[in-house]
Amino acid sequence: MKKFLFFSIHIVLPILIGAFIYVLFRVETLLVFKWIQFLGLDTLVYGIRSNTLKIANDLPFFFLYALPDGLWVYAGTTLFFFIWEKEIKGKIAIFWISLIFSIAVIAEFLQKLDVVEGTFCKYDIIAYISGFMFSVLFNYHRSINYE
Residue 92 is predicted with a pLDDT of 82
- Residues of the chain scoring pLDDT < 50: 147
**pLDDT computed for residue 137 by the predictor:** 93
Domain assignment of residue 6, given as a range? 2-146
- Which pLDDT value is given to residue 63? 97
- Give, as one character, the DSSP assignment of residue 10: I
CB 105 within 8 Å of CB 125? yes
Alpha-helical runs (H) found in 39-121: 42-56, 61, 67-83, 91-112
pLDDT at 143: 65
The Cα–Cα gap between 42 and 52 comes to 15
Look up the pTM and report it: 0.89
The predicted structure's pLDDT at residue 77: 95
pLDDT of residue 56: 94
pLDDT of residue 146: 53
Instruction: Kindly give, in sequence order, each residue whose CB lies less than 8 Å from that of residue 134, ignoring residues fewer than 6 positions away.
Output: 74
pLDDT in tens, 10-53: 999 999 999 999 999 999 888 889 999 999 999 999 999 999 99
Count: domains in the chain = 1
